Structure 1
Amino acid sequence: MTDQDTTHFGYRQVPKKEKARHVGQVFSSVASKYDLMNDLMSMGVHRLWKRFTIELSSVRPGHSILDIAGGTGDLTMQFADRVGADGEVVLADINQEMLEVGRDRLTDRGYGGRISYVQADAENLPFPDNHFNVVSIAFGLRNVTDKDQALREMTRVLKPGGKLLILEFSKPVNPLVSKAYDAYSFTALPIMGKLVAGDSESYRYLAESIRMHPDQETLKGMMEEAGLVQCRYHNMTAGVVALHSGVKP
């Protein structure tokens, strides 16, 4: 098997055609505790990262929004509030369990008829060209096998002038922060995952997948290669997380 046939799953090399299944098993395992673990892992700061993402989106009433890897719907709900009754919001996720948790959560909060739910692969989006004003993907791109193909697909479904937003763990800009972050990720996260979700291995994978994700400048270049312009990024929490944005010309 050649390097072209394999990809990384955390620090392991696996056949490309099997990565989606491995990632699916991780998220099926953690779906029911996903929101609780997000709050614990980030000490609640993930809410501020997502709020900044919404503010940067410039979403207005009547817009069409696609939230890829939308999971339990944190961004989806806020997009729905902003687009209003005349807008369109689609929560897409490749994982059926995550999609069900998100649908149940949003239905319980009164969003039932305002959001569409689609099980979809970011590398092959089942949507027409030039359809959405905003496409977002939060903490999902690092799990995609072919990131370049996914970026091309996200660009394809954007309207001209539409914006892609990628919120993702990235590379800390301070060496001391980086060292502390490594210690936390590979020690505390698996322990937390074991105690709260009954699954330390899935959270070990999540820590590894963050380290294997492209750094800020590399991802910016990949977005430009996909055809986006005005590509930039904002580091948050000393670069632990970065929000990338780009516009379809």
Structure 2
Amino acid sequence: MMVKPYDTERTKKAQVREMFDNIAPRYDLLNHTLSMNIDRLWRHRAVKAVRAYAPRRILDVATGTGDLAIQLASRIPAAEVTAVDISEGMLAVARRKVAARGLEKRIALRAGDAEHLPTGDASIDVATVAFGVRNFGDLDAGLRELARTIRPGGAVVILEFSRPRNRVFRALYEWYTYRVLPRIGGAVSRDRRAYDYLPASVGEFPAPERFLDMMREAGFTHCRARSQSFGIAQLYIGER
């Protein structure tokens, strides 16, 4: 059964939009604090992977509050970034952050979802997703849509959480993820169900080997995964 934030009747897409609208004001505080800022290191590595393709047109899907889009624009000066998110609440925070850094001419923030991206066929050099693919309403459709937008020779770079393979480390990780994180996140955000859903969505997400198969089925080649921080996250790369 597909895990959803709030109930079983409405679509996952509708509930994810509502959830991120609800937690947007406190999302950055919780995101960086609960991850102990290690998410910044993972984004740094994702940007490095993107830079290897010397892109001029980047599409950042599920951009959230714009952290990855801002890093991409800052570290790849020749690139223009289109950043898309389903939540207007998250985009409102992203707009303030982009303006504060003077990047309004480099980053275009647009509302949209992963299954209907506001870009033409083969119009993007590199597409990115940071911790957002597990929130797609239809993961297979979202991956196919990403592939549609990327030109031949381009790539997709995806950061996503995964379950560590080491049994001892996995036990510690799951204790923190399922016991500690929901309590703190729920108290600060005032939406406990959101912070029950987010770790549950990690547990439901396909294992790295299966997700690489899904990328291949969507049309990507030379797919590979790079484990981050003992398998807490994976950096996935696929080419067109």
Q: Distance in 2 between matches of 1:146 and 1:20?
A: 9
Partner of 2:109: 117
User: Secondary structure of the residue that 2:126 maps to in structure 1?
Assistant: strand
Q: Please, which runs of 5 or more residues in structure 2 have no aligned partner?
A: none
Deviations 1:131-158 (A, max 9, x none): 1111000110001121111000000100
User: Secondary structure of the residue that 1:20 maps to in structure 2?
Assistant: helix
2:88 to 96, 102, 120: 96
Say how many residue pairs are matched.
240
User: Secondary structure of the residue that 2:24 maps to in structure 1?
Assistant: helix
Whether contact under 8 Å (1:60, 1:83) holds in the other structure is no
Does 2:23 match 1:30?
Answer: yes
User: Secondary structure of the residue that 1:112 maps to in structure 2?
Assistant: coil
| One-letter identity of the residue aligned with 1:129 | D
Does 2:169 match 1:177?
Answer: yes
User: Secondary structure of the residue that 1:9 maps to in structure 2?
Assistant: coil
User: Secondary structure of the residue that 2:210 maps to in structure 1?
Assistant: helix
Q: Distance in 2 between matches of 1:9 and 1:171?
A: 19
Does 2:184 match 1:192?
Answer: yes
1:48 to 20, 41, 60: 41
1:186 CA drift (Å): 1.4
Q: Distance in 2 between matches of 1:216 and 1:13?
A: 28
1:129 to 118, 121, 136: 121
1:178 CA drift (Å): 1.2
Partner of 1:70: 63
Q: Distance in 1 between matches of 2:52 and 2:18?
A: 33
| One-letter identity of the residue aligned with 1:42 | S
Whether contact under 8 Å (1:59, 1:79) holds in the other structure is no
Does 2:8 match 1:14?
Answer: yes
Q: Distance in 2 between matches of 1:210 and 1:7?
A: 12
User: Secondary structure of the residue that 2:137 maps to in structure 1?
Assistant: coil
Change (3 A) 1:116 1:232: same
Partner of 2:237: 245
Change (3 A) 1:59 1:90: farther
Deviations 1:204-243 (A, max 9, x none): 1111111111110010000000111010000111111001
- Please give the root-mean-square deviation of Cα atoms over the aligned residues, in Å: 1.7
Q: Distance in 1 between matches of 2:144 and 2:54?
A: 26
| One-letter identity of the residue aligned with 2:150 | L
Deviations 1:38-86 (A, max 9, x none): 11111010000100101111257661000101111111112112342x5
1:184 CA drift (Å): 0.6
1:82 to 68, 75, 79: 75
**What's the % identity of the aligned pairs?**
37
Give the 5 Å matches for 1:218-233.
218-233=210-225
**TM-score computed with the length of structure 2 as normaliser:** 0.94
Q: Distance in 2 between matches of 1:97 and 1:59?
A: 32
User: Secondary structure of the residue that 1:122 maps to in structure 2?
Assistant: coil
| One-letter identity of the residue aligned with 1:81 | S
Whether contact under 8 Å (2:3, 2:200) holds in the other structure is no
